[in-house]
Amino acid sequence: MNLQDLFTITSLTAAINKLPAVPGKVAALGIFDEKGVTTTSVTIDEYEGRLILVPNISRDADPSQSKPGTRRRRTFETLHLPLSRPLLPGQIQGVAGFGSEAPIQNQAAIINDHLQELKNSIEATREYQRVGALRGKLLDADGKLIEDLYAAFGVTQKKSNIALSVAGTDVRAGCMEAKRHAEKKLNGVAVTGFAAFVGPDFFDAFTGHANVQKAFANWQEAQDRIGGDVRNGFTFGGITFMEYDVTISGQRFIPTDIAQVFPIAKGVFRTFNAPANYNETVNTLGQPFYAKAEERRMGKGWDVEAQANPLCMCMYPEALVELKAT
């Protein structure tokens, strides 16, 4: 294979999708089902049918009638997240392998190193969008609102205050209320658990509360024995609380004083991947990442571009609960 072959969209897209992606905490949970689509928009049908209990009747009687639900259709645009950089001849020619002065590093490996840096930034943005879906509001890199899922689905955001500054507050009751609200709004979806991403101020106030301290101390002792970090998951009241203290480009993923509670359930969270805006990818099934290169003027290197075109969605935003420390 010659150098020209390394820069085709097929080669680069295959390479960038094989490169490791450092997962964020949401990605690590694996709760987002990923699906490729052939269009740049996603149409979602909301079916308002309800689950019912079927009564036991005589075998000779007519079956009970199920009333059809109504459908509402909504269309959402996928995001377009491209990032590019120049790759100059001097960056490819005569570069020694890491830790060695003699061997020349494989050119494909150098290209992959540049793709990896582009992919890391795009994957961080995809994680930011997943967090947005968990909170019911998709935000741009500057914090501006892209899509309010509550408004789009015509539902109200559930917010609750927990007086963690008051020693007598029944914190467990607040957790149970959040879970019951979510279960009610999920209309029979099978839930395997509940989790919450929390800001550092909420986490400290929560674990320091008089009615939580004993449970937290026992948990912390167990984690100390195995060398774990309690910020990665402290379960209380049936909810696993995980501190998420991340800021990128000035945007906090989770506000410092809140806990975003969400269900662990199949089909609640989804990521749709649209095709890239290249001639070769029109009407093809979208992939998580794309990469392409174009030769620079006078053959002086290449412009390398990586991109993703995701739409991260919560299909039941009314089941999300924001707890705020007061």
Least confident of 34-38, 50-54, 108-112: 50-54
- Checking if the pLDDT of 24 tops 80, the result is yes
pTM of this structure: 0.88
Which H or E run contains 123?
helix 107-135
Which H or E run contains 34?
strand 32-36
Q: Identify the structural domains of the chain with CATH numbers, from first to last.
A: 3-47+72-325 (3.90.1690)
pLDDT number for residue 64:
65
- State the pLDDT confidence band at 103, using cuts at 50, 70 and 90: very low
Least confident of 107-121, 151-165, 218-232: 218-232
- State the pLDDT confidence band at 37, using cuts at 50, 70 and 90: very high
Strand partners, 274: none
SS3 state at 209: coil
Summarize pLDDT for 214-260 with one digit per residue, the tens. 888 888 887 766 666 656 788 999 999 999 999 999 999 999 999 99
Question: Which is it for strands 239-243 and 191-198: parallel, antiparallel or unpaired?
Answer: parallel
What are phi and psi for residue 232, nearest 5 degrees?
-85, 0
Contacts (Cβ under 8 Å, ≥6 apart) of 295: 7, 301, 302
